[in-house]
Structure 1
C-alpha cells in the first residue's frame, strides 16, 4: 500500500510583529498546528478541534479587523501574508524575552483570578482584546456594557466555569478605561 505525500505550499506568516517564512507547509494543515509544530508558539490551545470552544482563537488584523479567527478549523494558508496576533504577542517583553508588562486584558484577568486551569484563557484574552480595540473606535453606551461583553465572550467555552470572573474582569476594564463607554443622551 503506497501513500501519496501531502501537497505543500509556500507560506509566509506575520505573527506578533515578526515575519515567518516563506516555509513549505502541507496545504491541509491548520494554523494551530503550524503555530505549535513549526513556530514553537504553543499559547494558542487546541481544544475541541471543531472551532466550538474557541481556545484556539487568534486575532487577525486586516481591513476587516481586528477580528477573531479560530485556528483549529482554518487552514494555515488562509493566513498567508496576513497580520496575526497570538496570546504570546500581548505582553511587553525586554530584550531577553522576559515579560516586563502584561496587557491591560491580561492584567485584569490576573487581578480577578479569572481562570482556573487556564486552558481557555488564550481565547478569552484574544476575544477581550478585540472587544477593547473595537470599543476604542466605537464606544458603547453605558447601559449596553454588559450585553456587549456577553456578546463578545459568550461563544468562548470554559470547562472550569470561570465565566463570572472573566466577565467581571472585562467589565471593570471597560468601565475604567477612558473613552470606551459613552453616556446616552439625556432628555430634559
Structure 2
C-alpha cells in the first residue's frame, strides 16, 4: 500500500514555507514538529479538547482564530498564514530572543504556569483575545468575562487558571485602546 504525498505551501510566523511534500492525512502538529522543527505547540490529549496544541490562523480580513493542530490536517492550512508560539517573541538576526511578547512577559512575571505544558495554547489564546480587543474594545466592567470567554476552552492540569487570567487582564488594562470606560 502506498502513501499519497501532496506538497504543501503556507506562511508560518511571517515566513514562506514550502512546497514541502507531506503525507495526505498528516495532522498540523506533526507537520510542525516533524518537518519544521517547531515543537512549541504541545500534543496533549490528541483529541482537540485540551487545546495545548492550538496555532493561530490569520484570516485575509485581518482577524485571527485559534485552530487545534492535533485534529486539523496540515493541508487545511494550504496557502494560509499561521502563527505558532515560536512566532511571538522578537528575535535578532541570529535567531536569538531579544524581547518576549507582552503576554509572554506577563505570564513569566505572574508565574502563570507550573509544568508549562499548556502554556503555548494559553499564549496563543491570549494573543487572539488581545487582537480581538484591538478591533472591538470591551467595556472595563466586561473585561473579566471577555478573558474568561477567551481562555475558557483551555485546560491546565496544574490549575494555573487564576495566574493566566491575571496576566492577561494586566496586559489588557495596560495596552491603550483595548478597554473602554463605561458600558
TM interval, shorter chain, is over 0.9
How many residues are treated as equivalent by the alignment? 182
Shift of 1:136: 0.6
Which TM-score applies when normalising by structure 1? 0.95
**Structure 1 gap segments, 5+ residues each:** none
Q: Mapping of 1:126-141 within 5 angstroms?
A: 126-141=124-139
Q: Which whole-Å CA distance do the structure 1 matches of 2:96 and 2:6 have between them? A: 34
Which TM-score applies when normalising by structure 2? 0.97
**Max Rg structure:** 1
SS of match in other structure, 2:164: helix
Q: Mapping of 1:157-168 within 5 angstroms?
A: 157-168=155-166
Moved more, 151-160 or 62-71: 62-71
Cα deviations by residue, 1:91-145 (Å, 9 ceiling, x for unpaired): 0001111100000110110110000010000000000000101101110011100
Q: Which whole-Å CA distance do the structure 2 matches of 1:162 and 1:113 have between them? A: 9
Q: Which whole-Å CA distance do the structure 2 matches of 1:43 and 1:172 have between them? A: 24
Q: Mapping of 1:90-169 within 5 angstroms?
A: 90-169=88-167
Other-structure match for 1:77: 75
Other-structure match for 2:25: 28
Q: Which whole-Å CA distance do the structure 2 matches of 1:89 and 1:67 have between them? A: 15
Q: Which whole-Å CA distance do the structure 2 matches of 1:5 and 1:69 have between them? A: 29
Q: Is 1:41 aligned to residue 34 of structure 2?
A: no
Q: Which whole-Å CA distance do the structure 2 matches of 1:131 and 1:62 have between them? A: 15
Q: Which whole-Å CA distance do the structure 2 matches of 1:48 and 1:5 have between them? A: 29
Moved more, 74-83 or 59-68: 59-68
